[in-house]
Amino acid sequence: MTDAGIPARERQEAAGWQEATIEAIEQLTPRIKSFMLRPPEWKPFVAGQHLDIRLTAPDGYQAQRSYSVASAPESEGAYELAIEMLDDGEVSPFFHEVAQVGDTIEIRGPFGGYFNWTVGDGGPVLLIGGGSGVVPLTAIARHRAALQSSAPMLLLYAARSMAEAAFAGELQAIDAAEDGFQLIFAFSREAATRPKDISGRIDAAAIGRALEALGQMPHTTYVCGSNRFVEAVTTRLVATGLPAAAIRTERFGGA
């Protein structure tokens, strides 16, 4: 039997795709929106994994992208994605300019077995994110908080300003719990106001400050951001003496 003879929903399930309903939309920063997607079949995942998203135009043209899940694995039933608007993108403009609560989106996954962390992995853990690269790191921080882990963890978060730092309020609240999770912002276009934050980009000095605050060399370091950001940060990490094998990276195109 050809695909034409198989009901659409059966073809979708056979390929692993399912239609998730947009349950909520929240503007996180001027260029990043949060989308809560609820599929008919929620699948467990590990903090750091991603979903595939597929859009189909009326003429049949399809565009597909992968987005990290921001929600903690303990938030069963729905997945939160935080999508940055890319002016030349094929998928992000749809989410920012067209998508509404109640719409359905094709999703597949979650996937990813490398850029993951569970409380069983322990620490110390160093997280370094640039811009929307903080999304999978937020899932890791949320997972740690949800299970009340005592694993030492520090997030070094590079953004242009506080207004452009996604999940800033929630991450500060986790930091304020003083349970072994620390947060350091590095603002490239705004002066830092908290004493422990940094004015400027993540350079060797910023990494040194993060390692000093962590108090011990990390067992694993996770770096997520643009290609250029990840390359620069990982080069500096290795220069400080961190073994390359202990550094996990997730990157996306662009500067």
The domain locations on the chain are: 3-111, 119-252
Second-level CATH architecture of 119-252:
3-Layer(aba) Sandwich (3.40)
pLDDT above 70 covers a percentage of the chain that reads 93
Second-level CATH architecture of 3-111:
Beta Barrel (2.40)
How many residues does this entry show for the chain?
A: 255
The dihedral through the CA atoms of 213, 217, 218, 222 has a sign that is: positive
- Identify the weakest region by mean pLDDT among 5-9, 56-60, 179-183: 5-9
Cα-based distances in Å from 66 to 54, 218, 243: 9, 28, 28
Asked if the model's pLDDT at residue 14 lies above 50, the reply is no
Q: What is the pLDDT of residue 253?
A: 66
Cα-based distances in Å from 131 to 112, 135, 213: 21, 9, 22
SS3 237: helix
Q: Which long-range contacts (CB under 8 A, 24 or more apart) does 239-242 make?
A: 239/204, 240/204, 240/207, 240/208, 240/211, 241/217, 242/217, 242/218
Residue 170, both tokens: 């929630």
Condensed to tens digits (0 to 9), the pLDDT of residues 227-251 reads: 999 999 999 999 999 999 999 999 9
Condensed to tens digits (0 to 9), the pLDDT of residues 124-173 reads: 999 999 999 999 999 999 999 999 999 999 999 999 999 999 999 999 99
Same fold, 3-111 and 119-252: no
Q: What is the mean pLDDT of residues 198-203?
A: 93
Give the C-alpha separation, 57 to 61, whole Å.
5
Give the C-alpha separation, 172 to 169, whole Å.
5
Q: Are the CB atoms for 141 and 171 separated by under 8 Å? A: yes
Asked if the model's pLDDT at residue 45 lies above 90, the reply is yes
pLDDT tier, 4 (very low <50, low <70, confident <90, very high otherwise): very low
Q: What is the mean pLDDT of residues 68-94?
A: 93
Helix (H) or strand (E) holding 140: helix 135-146
Q: What is the pLDDT of residue 15?
A: 54
Asked if the model's pLDDT at residue 6 lies above 70, the reply is no
User: DSSP character for 245?
Assistant: G
pLDDT above 90 covers a percentage of the chain that reads 85
